[in-house]
Amino acid sequence: MKGARCLVLGAGGFIGTNLCLALRAAGIDTTGFGRKSRPPPALAGLDRMLWLAGSIESLSDPDALVAGHTHVFDLIGAGLPNSSNDNPAQIVADGLPPKVRLLEACRRQGVQRTVFASSGGTVYGPAGDAPIPETAATEPISAYGIGKLTVEKYLALYRHLYGLEYRVLRIANAYGQHQDPNREQGLVAAVLHRLLGAGAIPLWGDGAVIRDYLHIDDVVAAFLAVAFLEAEPGADASRLFNVGSGIGRSVLSVIEDAARVTGCRPILDRHPGRSGDVAVNILDSTRLQRETGWGPRVGWEDGLARTAAWLRTPR
């Protein structure tokens, strides 16, 4: 990590905020790039942490943004899995060209490595009950998943053409501190927030949808591992990694567990199921564990309790 200078795109979001905090805690100079004119409160006033406001869609000079950084983390989302299907063409028309222009800037500016936050929950599509390895077929049922997959393909193309090194993390459902409980994404934060007094919990379908939940500290540890850990000389390192707990939990069981941990009684607000949701999604992260020594450290109930404590803290 010595001499590293990191650029985090989407730094104002949930994963971005936590990643910036971890990079600064590791002593790494960090630039955060996000839509808001000021950094999120957690990053405000941090030493050796620069904030740049903007959007990659309207960036006139991507080279100027990227210049001087050794590592670029792309956490910029493109809508939500479900709403992406309302206008499926939009993700390719609006979301992808700025990403490719950014890759162009990275290779021109000699960036050492880019790390892309892909989506373990959408790129595979319907895949059965077993934990999914990286070698599984990729058959997304949302334009969001297609968009993520297409960026992955471009990363591989740029390495092939120009030697621009990259890593892809196909991330499970992250939860924990700094997740906005009022956004559509993030079941755990939404559930805990409502349990702690914000009202009824919206439930799409029968609550049987199964996902793999991973605490944000473990997600951030995976980013640091793939960004800075070098493979043994001569070994051909993987570039694509699942990041999950390997454990499937239904929406209803998350609500039950969160109710138990907080001691609050849930009230449900039921809605019809959504087309972009696969029934089951559990990730097999053996590759990441084997190649980097990474492993989930935060237990489920502990993670829930810590998230509830963070939500209770006045801000």
Which residues 6+ apart lie within 8 Å of 264 measured at CB? Answer: 195, 196
Regarding 63 and contact with a second copy (CB under 8 A), the answer is no
Q: Using CA atoms, how far apart are residues 217 and 258, in angstroms rounded to an integer?
A: 19
Give the strands of the sheet with 248-250, arranged side by side.
173-175, 210-215, 248-250
CB nearer to a second copy: give 67 or 100: 100
Q: How far is the CB of 104 from a second copy (least distance, A)?
A: 7
x/- site string to a second copy, residues 247 to 266, per CB under 8 A?
A: --------------------
Regarding 160 and contact with a second copy (CB under 8 A), the answer is yes
DSSP letter string over 290-301?
HHH-----S-HH
Catalytic pick from 144, 158, 166, 175?
Answer: 144
x/- site string to a second copy, residues 75 to 104, per CB under 8 A?
A: ----------x--xx--xx--xx--xx-xx
CB nearer to a second copy: give 137 or 235: 137
Supply the angle between the helices 96-108 and 143-162 in degrees, to the nearest 10: 20
Kindly list the distances between the CA atom of residue 193 and the CA atoms of 39, 98, 224, 276, in Å, as whole numbers in the listed order: 23, 34, 29, 24
- Phi–psi pair at 101, nearest 5 degrees: -60, -35
Tokens encoding 261: 């941990």
| Catalytic residue list contains 175 | no
CB nearer to a second copy: give 80 or 100: 100
Cα angle 22, 37, 77; round to 5 = 60
The region of 145-153, 165-173, 290-298, 307-315 touching a second copy under the rule CB under 8 A is 145-153
Residue from 220, 177, 158 nearest 40 by CA: 177
Regarding 154 and contact with a second copy (CB under 8 A), the answer is yes
Kindly list the distances between the CA atom of residue 208 and the CA atoms of 201, 273, 279, 300, in Å, as whole numbers in the listed order: 15, 10, 8, 19
Tokens encoding 215: 């605490």
CB nearer to a second copy: give 5 or 159: 159
Q: How far is the CB of 195 from a second copy (least distance, A)?
A: 33
Regarding 139 and contact with a second copy (CB under 8 A), the answer is yes
Amino acid present at 198: A
CB nearer to a second copy: give 139 or 257: 139
In this chain, which of 61, 137, 233, 293 binds a second copy, going by CB under 8 A? 137
In this chain, which of 15, 75, 132, 146 binds a second copy, going by CB under 8 A? 146
Regarding 268 and contact with a second copy (CB under 8 A), the answer is no
Residue numbers of the site for a second copy (CB under 8 A)? 85, 88-89, 92-93, 96-97, 100-101, 103-104, 135, 137-143, 146, 149-150, 153-154, 156-158, 160-161, 275
Catalytic residues: 144
